[in-house]
């Protein structure tokens, strides 16, 4: 379960197809193959992410930027997703999960992990990385950063000691409230929380030439801020969707980095309870629905 599922259910996203089955961090077993499918096999465990189809011919697809496709399909948003017992997927956007034997632990990798990985690539090679909003994506990305030898600074909801303790247990060198200043200048910051007011805070936290990456599909309005906190070649970027190359890279790196998702499992019939817990900030790590 991803915060984007919450945005779908709450009607925060435009052009929502209704009725819709949410869910885009899907792990399942192939039970049937469409005509001409040769890349998958019956009985194979696969993962299905947010990006469910691309046109393959628009300028973005033709230039290796399929995440910006002009005619995409998104799992759990424009096509039915994984809050179900079965799902139909485009075989070109289903990834073999050989070696990922625990489907509950693997599920968060299909969006929280992939979007976190793409966000980190855009953040650059800096050593000191700030993560604003320490939920599903950040708790996975923190492990990758530590494996890479980076220093992680975790910014959480004020008073959320559980999230701060989780961050420290995963190797963060500092964890505190998003209302606190960073203990030192950051090379880059990634904002996962859908809170626009964190963007100026992150810009103030990064050093000259630093980057702030917005990692979500939806965010409250960013308040007006003075140009001086953007000046000195700081950059503000957003991440949109993912590419299949991102998935190939991250699914290869996750086992090497020893990534272990912290999960809270719910039976499928308690999907609304899980959404309510996510909305209220009661999830540590990632919620996973089990049919």
pLDDT tens digits, one per residue of 212-221: 999 999 999 9
Among candidate residues 80, 67, 187, the one with its CA nearest the CA of residue 131: 187
Could you tell me the residue range of the domain that residue 187 belongs to?
113-238
Q: Is residue 249 part of a domain?
A: no
Total structural domains within the chain: 2
Judgement on whether residues 122 and 196 belong to the same structural domain of the protein: yes
Judgement on whether residues 117 and 97 belong to the same structural domain of the protein: no
Judgement on whether residues 24 and 125 belong to the same structural domain of the protein: no
CA distance 200 to 236: 10
DSSP state of 285: S
Judgement on whether residues 103 and 127 belong to the same structural domain of the protein: no
Q: Is residue 11 part of a domain?
A: yes
Judgement on whether residues 223 and 269 belong to the same structural domain of the protein: no
CA distance 119 to 102: 25
pLDDT at 55: 97
Judgement on whether residues 120 and 206 belong to the same structural domain of the protein: yes
Domain termination site, one of 223, 238, 253 = 238
Residue 57 burial (10 A CB sphere; 0-12, 13-18, 19+): exposed
pTM: predicted TM-score of the whole model, two decimal places: 0.93
Q: Which residues of the chain have pLDDT under 70?
A: none
Q: Is residue 253 part of a domain?
A: no
- Torsion over CA of 124, 125, 130 and 136, rounded to 10 degrees? 70
Q: Is residue 247 part of a domain?
A: no
φ, ψ at 154 (rounded to 5°): -105, 125
Judgement on whether residues 180 and 207 belong to the same structural domain of the protein: yes
CA distance 126 to 209: 10
pLDDT at 17: 84
Q: Is residue 81 part of a domain?
A: yes
Judgement on whether residues 125 and 179 belong to the same structural domain of the protein: yes
pLDDT at 190: 98
Q: Is residue 243 part of a domain?
A: no
Judgement on whether residues 205 and 267 belong to the same structural domain of the protein: no
């Amino acid at each position: 379960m991803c915060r984007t599922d919450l945005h779908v259910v709450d009607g925060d996203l435009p052009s929502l197809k209704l009725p819709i089955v949410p869910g885009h961090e899907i792990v399942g077993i192939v039970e049937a193959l469409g005509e001409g499918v040769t890349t998958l096999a019956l009985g194979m465990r696969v993962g299905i992410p947010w990006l469910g189809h691309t046109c393959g011919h628009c300028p973005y697809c033709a230039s290796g930027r399929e995440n910006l496709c002009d005619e995409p399909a998104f799992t759990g948003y424009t096509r039915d997703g994984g809050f179900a017992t079965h799902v139909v997927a485009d075989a070109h956007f289903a990834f073999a999960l050989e070696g990922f034997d625990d489907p509950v632990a693997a599920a968060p990798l299909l969006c929280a992990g992939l979007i976190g990985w793409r966000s980190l690539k855009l953040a650059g090679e800096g050593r000191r990385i700030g993560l604003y909003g320490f939920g599903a994506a950040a708790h996975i990305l923190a492990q990758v950063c530590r494996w890479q030898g980076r220093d992680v600074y975790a910014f959480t909801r004020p008073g959320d000691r559980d999230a701060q303790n989780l961050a420290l247990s995963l190797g963060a060198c500092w964890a505190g409230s998003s209302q606190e200043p960073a203990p030192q200048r950051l090379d880059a910051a990634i904002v996962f929380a859908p809170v626009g007011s964190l963007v100026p805070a992150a810009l103030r936290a990064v050093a000259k030439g630093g980057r702030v990456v917005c990692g979500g599909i939806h965010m409250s309005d960013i308040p007006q801020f003075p140009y001086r906190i953007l000046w000195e070649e700081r950059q503000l970027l957003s991440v949109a969707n993912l590419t299949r190359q991102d998935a190939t890279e991250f699914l290869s790196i996750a086992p090497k980095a020893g990534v272990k998702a912290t999960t809270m499992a719910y039976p499928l019939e308690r999907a609304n309870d899980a959404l309510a817990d996510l909305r209220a900030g009661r999830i540590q790590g990632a919620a996973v629905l089990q049919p």
